[in-house]
Chains A and B, each alone.
Chain A
Amino acid sequence: NAGVTQTPKFQVLKTGQSMTLQCAQDMNHEYMSWYRQDPGMGLRLIHYSVGAGITDQGEVPNGYNVSRSTTEDFPLRLLSAAPSQTSVYFCASSSGLTPPTLYGYTFGSGTRLTVV
């Protein structure tokens, strides 16, 4: 099993450009989330999903869009990149077996994004 796969690993964008960070998991997990990590700020939740077709906002959703058309994939879109979105982005997934609160999250290795 590959676990949670994030692509790309590194990306440099110019201000105003758009891009999609890809996240795929092969564990048949229902729950998926996107986080950003900045120095001294810890991990902050951007968006999360409890299953295909269902998404919700986290702590810092502004400037990001998500969709979940399949169980496996949960892409994160930056519509118009800003320097404030320079960060490391992590995707994570967790089992939806009942009760889901018994399960921890599996994280990808991250995407390091720089917006200039």
Chain B
Amino acid sequence: SQKIEQNSEALNIQEGKTATLTCNYTNYSPAYLQWYRQDPGRGPVFLLLIRENEKEKRKERLKVTFDTTLKQSLFHITASQPADSATYLCALRSGNTGKLIFGQGTTLQVKP
């Protein structure tokens, strides 16, 4: 069966450091992986997506990598700020279906 796993433990880092979050998946092919940010009491907000044939995507301080051999995506926030504190969700979409399935999310806390 299809499965998406994120580290459920909160990630605490110091301001200015790089935060790295992990998303592992099984049984998605082709895989289209998306990352979202969710703040308390609000709906998720789309950040980035990466396709199976792409190794890396960047957007400002965000970088996403995709390793289809390991079936893993890494989400990096460089020069992190307290305002980056939130829950980050990865999600997978298989092909052209409307079905987008989410991992449990990882909460990031950036301390000043």
Most buried by A among B34, B36, B44, B46: B44
Total contacts A-B at CB 8 Å: 73
A104 touches B46 (CB 8 A): yes
Question: Would you call B49 and A104 a contact (CB within 8 A)?
Answer: yes
When C-beta atoms are compared, the residue in chain A nearest to B6 turns out to be: A42
Q: Are A40 and B104 in contact (CB under 8 A)?
A: yes
In the bound complex, do residue B51 and residue A105 qualify as a contact, i.e. CB atoms below 8 Å apart?
Answer: no
Complex Cα distance A45/B36, Å?
Answer: 15
A84 at the A/B interface (Cβ < 8 Å)? no
Which chain B positions have C-beta within 8 A of A31? 98
Q: How large is the interface on A (under 10, 10 to 19, 20 to 34, 35 or more residues)?
A: 20 to 34
| Interface assignment of A2: CB less than 8 Å from any CB of chain B | no
Given known pairs A101-B32, A101-B51, A104-B34, the reply for A42 and B105 (CB within 8 Å) is yes
Q: Which of A94, A99, A108 contacts B43 (CB 8 A)?
A: A108
B89 within 8 A of A: yes
Residue contacts A-B, CB under 8 angstroms, 23 given: A4-B43, A33-B99, A41-B104, A42-B103, A42-B104, A43-B91, A44-B102, A45-B101, A45-B102, A48-B100, A49-B98, A50-B97, A90-B43, A90-B44, A101-B32, A101-B51, A101-B93, A104-B34, A105-B44, A107-B43, A108-B43, A109-B43, A110-B41
Which residues of B are in contact with A by a Cβ distance under 8 Å?
Answer: 8, 32, 34, 36, 41-47, 49, 51, 89, 91, 93, 95-105
Q: Can you name 15 extra interface pairs (CB under 8 A) apart from A101-B96, A107-B44, A109-B43?
A: A30-B98, A31-B98, A33-B98, A40-B8, A43-B89, A43-B102, A49-B98, A56-B98, A58-B99, A94-B100, A101-B49, A101-B93, A102-B51, A110-B41, A110-B42
The 10 A-B pairs with the shortest beta carbon distances in the complex, nearest first, are A104-B46, A107-B43, A42-B104, A31-B98, A43-B102, A101-B32, A50-B98, A48-B98, A107-B44, A42-B102
